[in-house]
Structure 1
Amino acid sequence: MPSHRHVHDDLVGPVRPSGLVVPRRRLLQGGLALGALAAGAPLLAACGDSETNTQESDAVPDHALLAAFPQSVPHIPAGVPSRLPYLVSDRDGVPLAEIAGDVTFTISQDGKELGTVDVAPRMDGVPRAYLPVSFTFPEPGIYDLTATYDGSELDSTIEVVDRARVGPPVVGEALPPVDSPTVERTLQVDPLCSRVPACPYHSTNLQDVVGKGKPVVMLIATPAYCQTAVCGPVLDLLMAQTEGRTDLEVLHQEVYKDPKGQRDLNDAELAPVPEAYQLRFEPVLYVTDRAGTIVARADVTVDRGELTELLALAV
């Protein structure tokens, strides 16, 4: 964010389960430690709490996995298809702009291999290449993900929780039809769109279109106040791919109700949709089918190619 820079070390790096709890609005504000890149500072893969992000060896590896999704709050539900975006850093901890070739992830629990996932890198129209790992974790617990890249073995440990502990709606559920702000009825959300110029997706109330015959595509993001350098690109890519389409209901929701009226965004009230969805991060893209059931949810970063695939799921 331009004037409110908060870097959350617990969100990106070699991932370890943590009992840390970060206030929701602070998480929304900072999003990811990737925000350090917006100011030109290197991102250290081993930064943060010594219990959660400590290098176990003095040797600096050539690469490391960086989790581009929340780590301080329950985020990955058991029994639900999950999409986990990972970045790959260089030895200085800076995420790569390009990832060379597909990467195979091995998922295991308690030393038992549960499956492998071949992941194609995504980097079309986004500032940092990423690897979206799709997997359904069968039960709550601790899981290990291992990948090999350029001769280095990259490890990540995540915590999967019961669905009841995860606030936001997930794939397979109905998208909650929240009363959302529009140009005719702003519900005191100002700005209604922080993009300059404003996007065209603020004329429709969410509760009027969910499950009414057209798939819904909704992006929750705040381009002007996001520090991670991904909010703006996601909205711009969405605009480019949905312009002129009449088969979709496309909506954009801002994160904050009145960010301009706050000296510190930690004190900013959330806009109606992120408040109702208990969002602790952004951006988030939801895609539903005609009945209003969520068929895809993409958190934090989406490139042009993956966005095309996600939109295809709606129809």
Structure 2
Amino acid sequence: MPRFVVLLAAVLAVFAAACGGAGDNDAPKDPVENVPQEAGVRERVKVAVNPDEAEFPAPAGKTLEQLANEMTAGPDFALATSIFTTGGDSRMAFGVIGQDGLPVYGPTAVYIAPTPDSPAEGPFVAPADVLLTDARYRSKQAATEDSPFAAIYAAQVRFPKRGQYSVLSATKGADGKFVGATSQIQVSSKGADPIPAVGEEAPKVTTDTLETTKGDEALLDTREPPSDMHEDFAQVVGKKPVALLFATPQLCASQVCGPVADIALQIKAKYGDRMSFIHQEVYVDNDVSKGLREPLRQFNLPSEPWLFVVDKRGKITSRLEGSIGVQQFEDAVKTGL
């Protein structure tokens, strides 16, 4: 099974890993406040957090290509999720990367069509979600103020049928004009996805603990420093709510997995008295060539990171693939409480 190597990973891999350090003990703040103010980035992210469907062009029978032709071309559409199905909303997480290699931030939405010359459907708004945690939760692999990628977009998209789709993102600039980026995805039929779904019982997998790794903390957790999120899922599930995160901060192909583990720690500080937070590493012996660890195999995961929130009955209430920001992580946790 492949690692989390989609377009976003390929784009972000060119950036040097940023080093986070210990921070202060202030109360958690609005995640947008962690975004740097330089070059107006914070203000652009702030307006991107709450896009309004009404501010985007209505398709009005136009094809996807016609809509794209009314926008400025140039940015790359960087997918951060890979599983899309019919029968409900699919989460499409992505970044928009300008020709200068830097993220493009602003109110954003996506449009879809089976082909570029087919009538477009949308807009599906894609709120930006901040990836930066408060300083005290940052690891060596963290997203920091110096990281080029401060937020991720995510839209809930409903696909009417399976097959290949063309995708167009539209990001509104300060001048009111739109820049467009395109991509293609494959959509599967509902039921063809083997990964445990919302509403289903979570597989009662045994996750790694300090005991199962014979005291080897480096084997247990590639995060630097290691976290304390290492209970055995099989011993907890069905007794209390659980947030189960499959991620490898050190071995991920991009600056996605590290921030996700850090975000889990920040959310744990708020909800840890009501829910167990468990982080499971991905590769056997932390060696990519040895394949996936058993818990990932039992969940039928084709990629990482993945977050599963499970309520006290053992039922999955939320599942998120790929890049996850602070707000979506917290929203997912709330579904299990």
Q: How high is the TM-score relative to the length of structure 1?
A: 0.72
- The CA RMSD measured in Å over matched residues stands at 2.8
List per-residue Cα deviations over 1:98-157 (Å, max 9, x = no partner): 512x21223344634554322221234154232111123243223333332242233333
Structure-2 change in CA distance of 1:293 and 1:137 (3 Å): farther
Q: Pairwise mapping of residues 1-315 of structure 1 onto structure 2 (< 5 A)?
A: 24=1, 27-28=2-3, 30=5, 34-35=9-10, 37-40=12-15, 61-70=73-82, 75-92=83-100, 94-96=101-103, 99-100=105-106, 102-109=107-114, 111-125=118-132, 126=143, 127=147, 128=149, 129-149=151-171, 150=173, 151-186=178-213, 191-202=219-230, 204-212=231-239, 214-243=240-269, 245-259=272-286, 262=287, 265=288, 267-315=289-337
List per-residue Cα deviations over 1:15-71 (Å, max 9, x = no partner): xxxxxxxxx1xx216465524534449xxxxxxxxxxxxxxx9xx93323221223x
Structure-2 change in CA distance of 1:220 and 1:32 (3 Å): farther
Provide the C-alpha distance between the structure 2 equivalents of 1:108 and 1:222, rounded to a whole number of angstroms. 34
Provide the C-alpha distance between the structure 1 equivalents of 2:128 and 2:269, rounded to a whole number of angstroms. 26
Structure-2 change in CA distance of 1:91 and 1:131 (3 Å): same
Which segments of 5 or more consecutive residues in structure 2 lack a partner in the other structure?
17-68, 133-142
Deviation at 1:237, TM superposition (A): 1.4
Provide the C-alpha distance between the structure 1 equivalents of 2:333 and 2:80, rounded to a whole number of angstroms. 22
Q: How high is the TM-score relative to the length of structure 2?
A: 0.68
**Percent identical residues:** 26
Equivalenced residue count is 259
Provide the C-alpha distance between the structure 1 equivalents of 2:4 and 2:166, rounded to a whole number of angstroms. 29
> Contact between 2:198 and 2:316, CA under 8 Å: does it hold in 1?
yes
* One-letter code aligned to 1:107: I
Structure-2 change in CA distance of 1:30 and 1:131 (3 Å): closer
Which segments of 5 or more consecutive residues in structure 1 lack a partner in the other structure?
1-23, 42-56
* One-letter code aligned to 2:255: A
Provide the C-alpha distance between the structure 1 equivalents of 2:3 and 2:214, rounded to a whole number of angstroms. 20
Structure-2 change in CA distance of 1:312 and 1:170 (3 Å): same
Q: Which runs of 4+ in 1 moved over 4 A?
A: 29-33, 112-115, 187-190
> Contact between 2:8 and 2:78, CA under 8 Å: does it hold in 1?
no
The structure richer in helix per residue is 2
Provide the C-alpha distance between the structure 2 equivalents of 1:37 and 1:157, rounded to a whole number of angstroms. 19
Structure-2 change in CA distance of 1:32 and 1:274 (3 Å): farther
Provide the C-alpha distance between the structure 2 equivalents of 1:222 and 1:194, rounded to a whole number of angstroms. 6
- The residue matched to 1:218 in structure 2 has which SS? strand
> Contact between 1:31 and 1:227, CA under 8 Å: does it hold in 2?
no
> Contact between 2:75 and 2:179, CA under 8 Å: does it hold in 1?
yes
* One-letter code aligned to 1:242: K
Structure-2 change in CA distance of 1:29 and 1:140 (3 Å): closer
* One-letter code aligned to 2:105: I
- The residue matched to 1:34 in structure 2 has which SS? helix
> Contact between 2:11 and 2:78, CA under 8 Å: does it hold in 1?
no
Provide the C-alpha distance between the structure 1 equivalents of 2:334 and 2:161, rounded to a whole number of angstroms. 29
Provide the C-alpha distance between the structure 1 equivalents of 2:8 and 2:215, rounded to a whole number of angstroms. 30
